[in-house]
Structures are given as structure tokens and as C-alpha cells.
Amino acid sequence: MPDESTLIHGVDPATPVIVGVGQAAERLDDPDYAALGEADLAARAVRAAFADTGADRAAADLAADVDVVAATRSFEISSPAARSVFGRPDNMPRAVAARTGMNPRRAIAEITGGQSPQHLVNEFGAEIAAGRAGPVLLFGAEVMSTVRRLRADRVDPAPDFTEEVAGSLEDRGYGIAGLTSVESVKHGVMAPVHQYALLENARRHRLGLSAADYAQQMGELFAPMTAVAAENPYAAAPRQHTAAELTVVGENNRMVTVPYTRRLIARDHVNQAAAVLMMSVAEATAAGIDPARWVFLHGHADTAEAPMLARPDLSLAPASDAALAQALEMAGVGPDDIAAFDLYSCFPIAMFTAAEALGLRADDPRGLTATGGLPYFGGPGNNYSMHGIAEIVRRVRRDPGSRGLVTANGGLLSKLSVGIYSTVPAPWRPSRSAALQARLDRGERVPLCRFPDGPATVESYTVLDPAGEAPIGVVIGRMDDGSRFIGLADPDDTALAERLLGDPIGTRVWVRSSPTRNTVTADETTMERLHPRTPVGFRDDYADVVLRRDGRVLEIVINRPDSRNALSANTNQELDEIFDAYFADPDLWVAILTGAGDKAFSSGNDLAASAGGGGLATPANGFGGLTSRRRLPKPIIAAVNGFALGGGLEVALACHVIVADEQATFGLPEVKVGLVAAAGGLVRLPRTIPPALTRDMILTGRRLSADEALSHGLVSRVARRGEVLDLAREVAAEVLAASPTAVRASLSVMADTEAQADTVQAVQDSLAVMDEILVSADTREGIAAFVQKRTPRWTGR
């Protein structure tokens, strides 16, 4: 603690304070509408923040002192799929800095998420308090409304907002891992409105409310916000509505997704910007900023929820509740001590969740929003809460000694940052969120079922575009073992479609997986009628695979030489069916897998198909129908005749024996195209070759020659050029000379004991196989043939 004589107005001079806030907006129908780009609109908000300080020093001098500029991400750079239609500065923080007289030491682009404005305040409050940062300017802007207008009007020449800006940039990346899962993408449920609808319907069911009663609650929650927006000069939609006008479906209020009408969801077509200026008490004093304008952060917290499909209860957000509780405890206050709130309101459940945690009713006289909320004030992407902070700062200044609270939500109730503000001087209190998060991370998680098959119970649901020509029913369900899946209702199942328009939660359904999606029907009978199972067996012909049957041996040739035998979704499906048929055919005892031509065994995933979504179409048994198959009861020999790269190597690794042409090449080049070897390469390769070599191959994409692969135990034999298939046939003949019963039992024991660390225990466990072997006909035949000095006549029994 500093000596009392060094305190300024009773607080440590290093204490961070907000000294200026600014906002800017332009609506398409404004008389002075200028179609500003993102950087220019942001600069308006930054200048307003400098002016808001009322400092004795000129704004130019304040700007020159700014040490750090941090920007929230606009929607144009919030995901790998986003793009800037009319270009943008390559360094937005410094582009705005240059417009406003700043030359900061650090320029930062924050991660994606609505939590980011409050998180940045929390983060840089700590940096200022620790003396690691001087004045910090936070800002964000969106011009989605202008971009949409310019695209619609096809302005010629089109505007170009591109700028090359010199200077460093700390780009923190998207930070969206866990917010959109492979399962969501696979089923086309990626938009926030779709995923929030699943959470919202789960909440309605938990409360035991009908759809009509819940709609009324949503309307009553949001209607008061419209009155606030109507008075806000920066609001995108300044019009007051009744609860019924928000929830009753009509010409201007269509049902977007059950249970949301258009007026109940965030309005993202806006042109809005906001900025917050922070500095230490000492710096504020030196700048001549009136202490009456200083706003202190009394409490703060940042937490993250489990990924949506892993949460024990889809209707709850315990991490958000914990963040609010911690921030209030840190501030030493309760909800009754808060005079003004701005609760994040992208969708009703986000505001309901925070309000419930705080014990607030929809008609609380203090109100739940200071801006008017995301659907009515506007939802400028990740930057909405910068406006919320600006409004709360102004409110606590107008009512000195009062407190205001901001919740900033990111993802799917995924991240919550909280701040409690007041003009009352308070010391900086370090964050305790890391310990809180560690405790939350130890909580229960629901296992994911990626390939569900059988009876299940509906846990939540929604209907996408319910008034459209082809509404899509989405179901989140639980298998009987408790695992969770996401699936799409079969569009031809009228019984399930009718159920989804009521309340299907808790009812039984039937689900079946395929490489492209999980399909849900009302019952098993309907599933079999709409999707009769294909009998296990070989087809007469295949598009991507050639089969050759020679006695007990099945030769499987991947026949896509023009693409170096890369596997498409169809190739995966065909191989999956073929291996099913091979394992089921009692007359086949050994399989050989190879590629057509002499260039490649397989170059892996067909990236061209993956770019169009085909990369998600992998069977339950994994890439090539092998890499995730739990049991391979009969031997498979990989005859590698060229490149075995990426998924090609992963398929080979899943086989029991690998033989190689002397010109063969092995590698996992996924990292070179931004992918990872997730089809078994990261697991099987380290168990096959030395660790140092494994890391070299995986991290650099290094390739091994056939001789190197042989020396390190990746392959067992190498053939002269062009003769690998002959070698594979020799190996197959050697396997056929052995007892098929003993071969299969050996494969089973090796698979069962592979992961056991205790060698002695594994040996003891393996003895159980003898119970089966001793009573087999092949064992009797093998002993008899040995005694009689003749070749055994195996039957496979």
C-alpha cells in the first residue's frame, strides 16, 4: 500500500479509472448520412471519448499520451468464413489511431465475442494498476447497415475501405474454439439464432410453460427495453413496442426460428461505434480531468461456460451465475445496491439468465438495460457492451455514489464478463476469475454421441424457418446411456413435424446416423419405412473402388488415380460398406487394401470435396471405413504402392500389416494446410514409431521413404518397384496357412490389451482366449495335422 501522503483523493495513484466514453451512429435515413467506413465511424466515437473527459489539456495532447489501443473485432473479421466486401484497414487499431492523433506503443485486435468490451476493461484495469500500461483507449465499430445498402445498390464504382497501415498489431485471433462444433456444422445449425433457440426451448420446458405463456414472458421482458431505445439518440430502431407487438407473428414480424420472432433477436444491421478511455488516477490528475468524471471499477469477473453440447443442463449457465456472484462479492454489494443495469440481450435467454441470477423481475423499476438492448438499440457485433459501458458510466456520473452493472455475453452463453461501476473511489481489486474458472472446469460434462443409432429422448428442439416452404426440425437428444446428440427431423415424418410444433421435449424418438447427418424420426417403424437399411453385402459394382476376390482373399483397390486415390465422401461410404461385408462374409479370411496405379496408395482426404462440406461426411467407422472401427476381427494388409499421405497413412496405420513398394512415401502433411491428423494419425503413429520421429513427422510434415519406414517399424516388408501387390499376396498366403480361428483370437487379444500399462496383468487377462481356442475345430485340426505330418485343413470354426 502506498504511504497515505502519496494517495490522490484517498486512493492509490495507480488505480485505473474510466475518464471518457464516446458513441457514434448513423442511420440510413439520417439527413447527414455519410456512408462512413468502419475506421471513420470509430474515429468519431474516439473523438467523443476524448471530449467527454472535459480535461484541461487539449484532446490532441490526451491522444498523444495513449499507450495502448485495443479494438473489438467487427463481424467482418470474426470468423474464418467472414469477409470484408469493400475491404478494410489491415491494422484497424492503428488506422483509427492515425485518424485521432494517437501513436500507441501497443495495438491490439481482441478475440471474437460480445464479452470482449468488458473483458478488455477488466484486463487493462489490471495492466494500468500494475504499471504495465499507460492510458488505454478501447473501441469498436460496425457498419453492417452501410455495407448491406452498398451491396444492394451496387454502387459503381464500389467503395474501397482498404488501407495499409504501418505499425505492429497484436492480433489475438478468433478465439471461437468450442463455440461452433463439428456436429453443429454437420447439421447446418451454426447461426446463433438457431443455437440460442435450442437453449431457449430447453428453458421453457424446465419452467413448465406453454409456448404461448413463454412468448408472453419474452415480450414482457423486452418491451420495456424498446422505451429506452426510443429515447436513445444512438439507437438503430428508436421505436416503442408493446409485448404483443414483439411476439405476435405478423407481416413485419415473422417467426424466424421457434420460438423467436424477428423483433426478439439482436439487430445486427447497424452503423454504431463506441469508445472508452482509461488511465490511472495519477494520469487523470495530471491531465486535469475533474475527479467527478472518474468512474471506478468496483467489481469484475470473467468466466467461460462448457461447450454447449457438453453442458449438463442446456437451460442453465452456471459459469455466468458465478461471474455475477463474484463481481458483486468483490464490490461488497448485492443486487439491491445497484442503481442501473445493462444486461446483455442478444436473445431473451441471455437476459433471463442474468436477471434470474440477480433476482430481478422484468418490470424492475430500475430497468434491465441502459441502451435499449441489442434488438432495439442495436447489436453492433462484438462491440455492443462498449455502448452499455458508456451508458452506465454516464448514469453513475449523473447520480454520484450510485452503482451500475454491465454483463457482456459472448458465444452461446459461453463467456460472461461483468463489471460494476461507480464514481465512489475504490482500490483496484485483482481478478479472482482464474480460481473460479478452475472450479467450474471440474464440473460435470455430458459425453457426445457423434454417431447415434437407436431410441432416444428429446432434450431440446427448434424449427428453422417454420413458415417457409421447407422448415427444418432440429433435435438435441439423449441416448439411453446419457450421451447427447444433435440431429435433423426427417422432413417426410409428418408425425414428428406436428410434435415439433408443440412441446416434444421428454418424448421418445428414434435416431440413426449416416456419414452426412443424424436423422430423427418419431419411432423405429417410421425410420425403417423412410430409411430401410441396406443389407450387409457386396454390391455388383462401385464408383470409386474395385474388388477382386481370389478364394479366401479379398483385394480392395481404391480406384481414383486422377486424384492420387484421395478419399471423397462417396469413397469413404463405399469402403465402409465393403469392410462391413468383408467382416461378415465367412468365406473371406484376409483382405488386401491398395490404390490404383503406381503413384499413390492414397493421398488422404479429398480437400476439394472437404471445402464444400464433404470433409464432414465420414462414416461412424472413420476415414476409409477403418480408422474409428472398434473391431477389425479379420486381418487387413495395406499394400502401399506410392504416396500414403495424411488420411492415406492413417488408413494404413489402421490395418494390421503394412507392406510397401520401395518407392513408397509416408507422411502426415496436415499441418501444412491448416489441419491436423485427427483420423488416427496423432494416436497411432506415436504408438508405432519412435517419439522423436513422430513429432518430427507430425509437426513438420516430414515424409519417410520405404526404407526409413522399414527401419523404424512402420512397415514390415518392402517390395521391389511395382511388386508390392505380389508381396501382399504372399503375406496373405502366409496368413491363410495359419489357423483363421487363432489369427482372429490373436487380433482380439492384441486389441483388448493394447492400452493396458500393466504387462503382467495384460498377460493374465489374455489367458481367457484359451477358453475359446481349446474348443475350436481348428485347434483340433491343427494338432492332428501336426501329429500326422500333413497340411491343416482349416474351417475357420
Task: Please write the tens of the pLDDT for every residue from 671-710.
Answer: 998 889 999 999 999 999 999 999 999 999 999 999 999 9
Both 675 and 780 in one domain: the answer is no
253 lies in some domain: no
Within a domain: 535:
no
Quote the number of domains for the chain.
4
725: containing domain: 545-736
Average pLDDT over residues 562-591: 95
What's the pLDDT score for residue 758? 78
Q: What is the Cα–Cα distance from 181 to 172, expressed in whole angstroms?
A: 21
Q: In this structure, are 28 and 13 located in the same domain?
A: yes
Q: List the catalytic residues.
A: 650, 670
- Model confidence at 14: pLDDT above 60: yes
Q: Is residue 673 part of a domain?
A: yes
Neighbours of 234 (CB within 10 A): 24
Q: Is the pLDDT of residue 767 over 70?
A: yes
pLDDT bin (cut points 50, 70, 90) of residue 81 is confident
Residue 589 has pLDDT above 70, yes or no: yes
Per-residue pLDDT at 529: 96
Please report the pLDDT score of residue 4 as a whole number.
60
The answer on 297 and 171 residing in a single domain is yes
The CATH number of residue 101's host domain is 3.40.47.10
Domain end marker among 441, 461, 492: 441
Confidence class of residue 776 from pLDDT cuts 50, 70 and 90? confident
Q: Return all residues near 344 (Cβ < 8 A) that are at least 6 apart.
A: 114, 350, 351, 354, 374, 384, 385, 388, 407, 408, 409
Angstrom distance (rounded) from CA 273 to CA 564: 51
Q: What are phi and psi of 486, to 5 degrees?
A: -120, 140
Residue 86 CB partners (closer than 8 Å, separation 6+): 37, 147, 150, 158, 159, 160, 161
Confidence of residue 610 (pLDDT cuts 50, 70, 90): low
Q: Which pLDDT value is given to residue 5?
A: 58
- In this predicted model, which residue has the larger pLDDT, 748 or 42? 42
Q: Give the pLDDT score at 99.
A: 98
pLDDT of 613? 47
**Shared domain check, 103 and 17:** yes
Do 70 and 133 fall within a single domain? yes
Which is more confidently placed, 191 or 772? Answer: 191
Q: In this predicted model, what pLDDT tens digit does every residue of 508-538 receive, in sequence order?
A: 999 999 888 999 999 999 999 999 988 889 9
101 within domain boundaries: yes
Same domain, yes or no, for 780 and 641?
no
Last residue of a domain, one of 407, 441, 475: 441
Q: Is residue 163 located within the same domain as residue 283?
A: yes
CB atoms closer than 10 angstroms to residue 352? 22
pLDDT above 80: residue 766: no
Find the mean pLDDT for residues 201-225. 97
The residue with greater pLDDT, 24 or 744, is: 24
Paired with 85 in beta bridges are none
Give domain status of residue 240, yes or no: no
Return the bridge partners of 360, or none.
Answer: none
**Pair (726, 744) in one structural domain:** no
* Interval 421-432: pLDDT, tens: 999 999 999 999
Is position 208 within any domain? no
Residue 33's nearest CA partner among 141, 149, 139 is 149
Q: In what helix (H) or strand (E) does residue 548 lie, and over which residues does it extend?
A: strand 545-550
Residue 753 lies in a domain: yes
Residues 599 and 478 in one domain: no
Let me know whether 560 and 703 are in one domain: yes
Quick one: which of 233, 237, 551, 197 has its CA closest to 245?
Answer: 237
Q: What is the C-alpha to C-alpha distance for residues 612 and 629, in angstroms, rounded to an integer?
A: 25
Distance, in Å, from the CA atom of 648 to the CA atom of 595, rounded to the nearest integer, reads: 10
pTM: 0.89
Report percent pLDDT > 70 for the chain.
98
614 vs 640, higher pLDDT: 640
- Alpha-carbon torsion angle 704, 708, 711, 714, nearest 10: 20
Q: Is residue 765 part of a domain?
A: yes
Question: What's residue 748's pLDDT?
Answer: 84
Pick the more confident residue, 784 or 277.
277
Q: Where are the beta strands (DSSP E) in 26-124?
A: 68-71, 106-109
Domain end, chosen from 698, 721, 736, is at 736
Predicted confidence (pLDDT) per residue in 358-413, tens digit: 999 999 999 999 999 999 999 999 999 999 999 999 999 999 999 999 999 999 99
Looking at the fold, whether 513 and 568 belong to one and the same domain comes out as no
Instruction: Give every CB contact of residue 439 below 8 A, 6+ residues apart in sequence.
Output: none
Determine the pLDDT at residue 614. 46
Average pLDDT over residues 456-470: 94
Q: Rounded mean pLDDT of 703-726? A: 97
Residue 582: φ, ψ to 5° = -60, -50
Mean pLDDT value across residues 304-314: 97
3-state secondary structure of 404: strand
Q: What is the pLDDT of residue 291?
A: 97
Clarify whether residues 90 and 135 are in a common domain: yes
Is a pLDDT exceeding 90 seen at residue 504? yes
